[in-house]
Amino acid sequence: MKYILLSIGLLFSTTIYTYPIDGYQYTGIDRLLYQYKVMQDSTVDTKLDKGALLNLTDIKLNLLKNKSSWPEEDRNLEKKLQNIFRYLEPEYSVSVMDITNPNNIRYAGLKENVGYQPGSVAKIIAAMGLFDALYKVYGDNWEDIRAVLYNRKVRGNEFVVYDHHTIPIYDIKQNKYYKRKAEESDVFSLYEWLDHMFSKSNNGAASIVMREMLLVHIMDDYYECATQQEMDMVIENSGKAVLSNLTEDLTNCVLESVDIDGDEYRLGGFFTSGAEKYVPRRGGSIGTTKGLMKFMFALESGQVINERISLEIKRLMYLTDRRIRYASSNSLNDDAVYFKSGSLYSFKPEPGFVKKNYAGNRYNYMNSIAIIEKQDSTQRKYMVALMSNVLRKNSVGEHLALAKRIDDMLSE
């Protein structure tokens, strides 16, 4: 399989300008080819912020030389955070880490150990699980891992349903780009399923990523040449309890490897009801801003499995699609943003209450993590984990405003 990938690489051995927009050559993700063509057409508005146009070689891990342990709380930074959040609802938690100077990392958090339902932020754990499974088979040979991500195409089946999120489709031959919901008959490479999960937060794609994590673990290196029918039979014949226990073990172990425990960040199960027919949940998901910050700290230090995989996860988090929530602040337009957000809300009967999206009265979670790299003269780099559960109110406005206030705070 790696030789097929090498041939493709030779055919497209042109200069790479941005990632992931023209990462199509490197990953085979069709969406990127469309966006690259649009960007190259001077008559078309790309609708991408300046900060979305970094070169491939510009994306680096910022703490590789940092050998220190978790930093102590910076009291001055904590006081500034308290001033920002003083007049907001109490159902907010935040952690901020300034990593501009790796030798003088500043960290502060408010209610950093309070647990929330992380929603789609937990999809990061799904990616970690898949990469860890591949690492256990191929070790530090990144090109062998990339060959599997590039060449291994798998069908969605029932695991993709149900999900209201769309996925991007680019018909290269017809030069037609559109978005639709994922279908059971869809066949994409692992790289494309990962991109659907990160760029569009597609729940079905996240369930596929988790399913393939299980299959890689069970089938070892035979996975890369197995037929779809053989893989389907493994899922059908392994037994629900076995797959459920294995999912819990694999996701917990990869988090424990970076010193994140189950009370700080945890994935309770798959993201679609179709997947749960085969792999039942073993509990709920949870996230704290400290747990999420621990992930980002480990990522920038190259400790999420290994340095090369940490870099690839960071690339997958790099925003080259429409920015939302915290990341949509105009103060970040020119900055590189590596991002994942998630929301989950629910309703209960309440006299006079009118249901609105993202304004649940039973629970109303809205969460984001962001790595910000300023592209101005300051070259400031910092990380933010923000979680909230403000009932009956869409908190997107506050999240957007907080992005600017935190950015301003760190510029003082």
Domain boundaries, the chain: 75-116+291-411, 118-285
- The answer to whether the beta carbons of residues 124 and 206 sit under 8 Å apart is no
Q: Per DSSP, what are the bridge partners of residue 337?
A: 372
Would you say 188 and 153 are in contact if contact means Cβ atoms under 8 Å apart?
yes
Position 56 scores a pLDDT of: 74
**Tokens, residue 285:** 């998901």
Rounded to two decimals, what is the model's pTM? 0.92
- The answer to whether 109 and 357 are in contact (CB under 8 A) is no
Report cis status (omega within 30 of 0) of the bond before 223: no
What is the structure's pLDDT at 111?
97
pLDDT of residue 18: 32
Please give the pLDDT value at position 46: 62
Cα gap 94→136, rounded to integer Å:
34
- The predicted pLDDT at position 2 comes to 45
Residues of the chain falling short of pLDDT 50: 1-19
CA 170 to chain centroid, in Å, comes to: 22
Contacts of 84 (CB under 8 A, 6+ apart): 402, 405, 406, 409
Quote the pLDDT of residue 47: 67
At 26 the pLDDT is 92
pLDDT given for residue 20 in this prediction: 54
pLDDT in tens, 228-287: 999 999 999 999 999 999 999 999 999 999 999 999 999 999 999 999 999 999 889 999
Partner residues linked to 340 by β-bridges: 369
- Residue among 366, 364, 343, 344 at smallest CA distance from 353: 364
CATH C-level class of 75-116+291-411:
alpha beta
Instruction: Provide the token pair at 98.
Output: 């300034």
In angstroms, the CA 235 to CA 27 distance is 27
Other Cβ atoms closer than 10 A to 201: 22
Tell me whether the omega of the peptide bond preceding residue 90 falls within 30 degrees of 0, making it cis. Answer: no
199, two tokens = 């760029």
